[in-house]
Amino acid sequence: MTESVPRIGCVPYLNARPLLEGLEGCVAHVKKIVPAKLFDHYQAGEFDAALLSSVDVISMDDSEVVDGVSISSKGEVQSVVMAYTKDLQGITKVALDPSSHTSNALLRIVLEEFHGIFPDYVQSESIELYKNARLVIGDPALSLRKQALGSDVRFLDLGGEWFRNTGLPFVFALWALKKDYTNKKEISDLLRSCKNLGLSHRREIAVLEDDPDFALYYLTESIRYDLGVEEK
């Protein structure tokens, strides 16, 4: 595969759809994988650029960030939540989400530094929600919130908690680009152009979802796509 057709790794969530507008097809080879696994594939050299968890990007010295693009929030993010049923202070065990390193790290900050809660953390998707709590991210979190309407399941929105305690936006994901990639300027410009195109097409993206009104609200009010002074 030649560098004229970049290999792009992305996440399979609604919030990333605006960043892929016009990118899939002949412009680039795009593959969608959950964040934690995407990081492994990127490190293995399978992608020239990838939309990685911010925690993973910070840990690398062989990559650089594409300026001007992120997946972030300034307030409730809707799709990164801890689901629980008992009193928050009574939580003793939390199942982390193995698909995201950033969200797992943020959950620890929110619980320990903001709420003074120090539960046991387990890597499991099968933990019984009614006895404990679990972190859910991405489209599964959006679906769970709808399914739980009218039930006793509560949700701690991590984006909202971060903003309430810091007054700052939280950056969940960034485009990472290998420093030795030959056409860095071209691919960076391409990713920024796709973002701008996608932001103008959010209504068209939302109408394809089961709940278009909520999807549009989510893509326009909950998720932010810039990487400016505030986000840095």
pLDDT recorded at residue 197: 93
This prediction has a pTM of 0.91
**Contact between 77 and 156 (Cβ < 8 Å):** no
Alpha-carbon dihedral sign for residues 157, 159, 163, 166: positive
* Mean pLDDT to the nearest integer, 100-125: 93
pLDDT recorded at residue 1: 40
Q: Which helix (H) or strand (E) holds 64?
A: strand 63-73
Say how many residues make up the chain: 232
pLDDT > 50? residue 88: yes
Of 6 and 158, the one with more pLDDT:
158
pLDDT confidence bin for 86, thresholds 50/70/90: confident
pLDDT recorded at residue 81: 97
pLDDT recorded at residue 2: 45
Q: Which neighbouring-strand residues pair with 9?
A: 31, 50
Q: What DSSP string describes 175-230?
A: EEEETT-TTHHHHHHHHHHHHHHHHHTHHHHHTTSSSHHHHHHIIIII-B---STT
**Contact between 34 and 12 (Cβ < 8 Å):** yes
pLDDT > 80? residue 171: yes
Look up tokens 């305690």; give the residue.
Answer: 165
What domains can you pick out in the chain, each with its CATH number?
7-73+170-222 (3.40.190.10), 80-166 (3.40.190.10)
The DSSP symbol for 19 reads: G
pLDDT > 80? residue 125: no
